[in-house]
Homo-oligomer: A and B are copies of this chain.
Amino acid sequence: MKGTLYGVGLGPGDPDLITRKAARLIENAEVIAYPTLAGGSSFARAIAAELIPATAQEIVMDVPMSVERGPAQAAYDKGAAEIRAALDAGRDVVALCEGDPFFYGSFMYLFARLRKDYAVEVVPGVTSVTTCAAVSGLPMAARNEVVTILPAPKIAYAGVRQMSDTYPTDIIQGSDTIAIMKLGRHFAAVRAVIKEAGLTEKAVYIERASTPDEVVLPLAQAPEKAPYFSMILIVKGADPWL
């Protein structure tokens, strides 16, 4: 009998925001799997740390930083092979995922490789998007409002490549609430687009929501540089913030 692969969302960072289902799966795990970035520590493992049994086998996928996709895909190939070995031996595997496994997570790379051959269950988690709304005190969507989640590189590249004269402005104009993720090195380009759209006053900048290093600021007061785990939230209908 083959084991089951669980893709387990851990929420945004606060271990208390792990669901009861995820906590139980981790506490009883024989095998856990998680990615690390370029030899660094794993944020996913850190969120779940207090729940991981000392006896659990740990499958670590070290994903290199690279613009090309090949090296990262090779890391997932290697990880998937180790997970296959555990599943074939009848052991369940709990893959740890920051946030939600299917919401901008790397779990999809394991899912794509393994879903045809094994039972896979995905346990949804609290996303960084609603966490940013919670810590900012900004109800992000009500009634029939339209919410768009825009990764920052999409904005930056749209400008550079002139994909369209009006994109991403159309999306920003057509939505009531916009969450811009993955700011990192695209922060300046994103700020410029928001300024042009006249929305700087409505924009809140959030870093590492729900963790001890959390930062929440009006965008106009945000630092020059933004880490990868940061977000801008624009709620057009909100009262002026602060």
Contact = CB atoms under 8 A, between A and B. Distances in A.
Contacts of A151: 143-146
Given A127-B130, A145-B151, A174-B174, 20 more contacts: A9-B130, A14-B21, A15-B20, A16-B19, A17-B20, A17-B21, A18-B20, A102-B139, A103-B130, A104-B141, A108-B142, A111-B137, A122-B134, A123-B134, A124-B130, A144-B151, A144-B153, A146-B149, A147-B148, A170-B174
A120 interface: yes
A138 interface: yes
A150 interface: yes
A125 interface: yes
A23 to B, nearest CB: 6
Contact of A167 (B20, B145, B157, B174): B174
Nearest to A139: B108
Interface in A1-45: 9, 11-12, 14-21, 23-24
A130 B20 contact: no
A18 B160 CA distance: 43
Copies of the polypeptide in the assembly: 2
Given A124-B133, A130-B103, A171 B146 contact: yes
A191 interface: no
A62 interface: no
Interface residues of A, number: 61
A79 interface: no
A221 to B, nearest CB: 21
A117 B120 CA distance: 47
Shortest 9 CB-CB distances between A and B: which pairs? A108-B139, A16-B21, A122-B134, A144-B151, A147-B149, A100-B130, A102-B133, A124-B130, A124-B134
A230 interface: no
A96 interface: no
A126 interface: yes
